[in-house]
Chains A and B, each alone.
Chain A
Amino acid sequence: MLNRPGAEALFRALCLVALTIPLAMLLVLLFHTFSEAYPRISWEFIIGYPSRKPALAGLLPALAGSFYLMILTGLMALPIGLAAALYLEEYAAPSALTRIIEVNINNLAGVPSIIYGLLGLELFVRAMSLERSLVAGAATLALLVLPMVIITSREALRSVPFSYREAALALGAEKWRTLLRVVLPMSLPGILTGLILAMARAIGETAPLITIGALTYIAFLPDSLQSPFTALPLQIFNWVSRPQAEFQVNAAAGIVVLVVLLMALNGLAIWLRARLQRRVYW
């Protein structure tokens, strides 16, 4: 039966349908959201403050919170992640310990985000008494994206040809100097791309932030590391939870802003990689 002439065409068509169904659902999702959101998207919405009246409610504290969170998370995750990647790629000899660390990192990448929220709750909010502050949120998210940063940085370091390292050594440079002056600059595009993608992931995370304690009403911009905060996905979640239809419109509008921001970040990553890669070929 499998050798019949029509069977292959049928199977091929079936596979094509299987491929297009989820993509079609994605289009439906985007179309549904954008059309729901259309009445609310405006400049006032983006720079406004929350309100009990859906038509007046705005996104500014959530945007500010997400922005600060993203930067703080990046600042915390990059040095540690890059250092770990450097060690694993350049210094560590293959051994049982190294194996364990690598398996561990891969496992951490697959741990559900809410578990990181529980870790953040117990460690940062309660044990270190940071309360539900910007710095506690950023630290939790930094732990969440750390495996991703390590893995992408390692790939970037791996992409630098071996010959460059040997050439530097042959010229008398020490290991650390070689890394700093030769390997890192060459792998920088990949590292930065990985970092930006990690920050994009951090911006979209809701569960860990809810677990460390999310507030419902914040009408001011965070002005300190210990400030209470809200974030874009938290605000969307808050609006989705309200049964009034107008708040669902707000939620859709918030989603549109979030998706646009993510596309911008992804675009930035791609642009940065293309731009810097061109300059490094000396």
Chain B
Amino acid sequence: MIPHSPEGLRTKPTFLERFMKGMLASCAGLSILTTAGIVVVLVYESVALLQEVPFWRFLADTQWTPLFAEKHFGIWPLVCGTFLTTAIALFVAVPLGLLAATFLSEFAAERSRRIVKPVMELLAGIPTIVYGYFALTFVTPVLQNVIPGLASFNALSPGIVMGIMIFPIIASLSEDSLYAVPASLREAALALGASRLATVLRVVIPTAFSGVTAAVVLGFSRAIGETMIVAIAAGQQPRFTLDPRVPIETMTAYIVQVSLGDTPTGTLEYRTIFAVGLLLFLFTLAMNLVGIRLRRQIVPGTL
């Protein structure tokens, strides 16, 4: 940052200076406005919904049928659907990501690192609709040959594909924190007679624990908010179940389902998508804050 001029030489800033500073500050302030906008919009419509539907009905019911004649407002089916797909995704991505990160940081030659890292960035940059297409047209049919009774829409297929999608996040961030473990710790372990494997498993990984946790948390947040993969492949049937072989509906897919029907402002249906959106926002906000906090612990100065 440009330092202020020392005493004695300080002159009053020109109008242009003050004007530009003001303009730039207001642009920075726009980011606050965006968050405020999101919160205001979500809360406003949710409050309007709560005036029609008491809050306990959201918690006390295990069915979500707000659009039908017999209205149930239990959020649990949608939350369950989201967490089921996310859990499957993490089940795939965390072991693979952590092991891959270990390889890149501890065993790989510098040259391999230089090739693999951009390829992983490529994986991360693929639009999610491509993953959705892949889940529906390749993964589901393949799984149907392996698992009899697997429905065309299910939680398993998009879960696995989401795992592939968040793998780069987990691998990359874990690798950063593994790499950041000081060499002195590794050398100390080796000096005490530990093998390389023991060093990695007993010294390096535990030291990088908060960084790895941060990676998992951020991956978790990404998976919760994922829309297209589940909208295409998971189904549109809100169901309070942990069975990955049947159609379910996630929070994000519900919003897409109602948006495709293009509901007008002010109706009950319109408000439900904002209520679900608010819930989603709170989940991801909590995860993101935890993740940011953890990352600051391991690499101070990073955000």
Contact = CB atoms under 8 A, between A and B. Distances in A.
| Direct touch of chains A and B (CB < 8 A) | yes
Interface of A: 2-4, 7-8, 11-12, 14-19, 21-23, 25-26, 28-29, 32-33, 36, 79-81, 83-84, 86-92, 100-108, 110-119, 121-123, 126, 143, 146-147, 150, 165-166, 169, 174-176, 178-179, 200-201, 203-207, 210-214, 233, 236-237, 240-241, 248, 251-252, 255, 258-259, 262, 266
Given A92-B28, A119-B37, A237-B129, A113 B2 contact: no
Given A83-B24, A118-B277, A207 B228 contact: yes
> How extensive is the interface on chain B, given as a class?
35 or more
Contacts of B96: 18-19, 21-22
Interface of B: 1-3, 5, 13-14, 16-17, 20-21, 23-25, 27-32, 34-35, 37-38, 41-42, 45, 95-100, 102-104, 107, 116, 119-120, 122-123, 125-134, 136-138, 164, 167-168, 171, 194-198, 200-202, 218, 221-222, 224-228, 231-232, 252, 255-256, 259-260, 262, 265, 273-274, 277, 280-281, 284-285, 287-289, 291-292, 303
Given A8-B195, A80-B27, A106-B292, A210 B260 contact: yes
Which secondary structure dominates chain B's binding surface?
A: helix
A3 B189 CA distance: 12
A112 to B, nearest CB: 3
A26 B165 CA distance: 10
B133 A251 contact: yes
Nearest to A100: B32
Contacts, number: 267
A111 B41 CA distance: 15
A92 B1 CA distance: 9
A203 B285 CA distance: 25
Contacts of B228: 206-207, 233, 237
A230 to B, nearest CB: 14
17 contacts: A19-B171, A29-B138, A33-B134, A84-B27, A107-B35, A110-B222, A112-B225, A123-B37, A165-B2, A169-B5, A175-B17, A176-B21, A179-B2, A204-B128, A206-B227, A241-B232, A266-B125
B116 A113 contact: no
A68 to B, nearest CB: 18
Contacts of A26: 119, 122-123, 126, 164
Given A18-B95, A84-B24, A240-B132, 12 more contacts: A3-B195, A19-B103, A29-B131, A81-B27, A83-B27, A110-B221, A115-B38, A118-B273, A119-B38, A122-B45, A207-B227, A237-B129
Contacts of A207: 227-228, 231, 252, 256
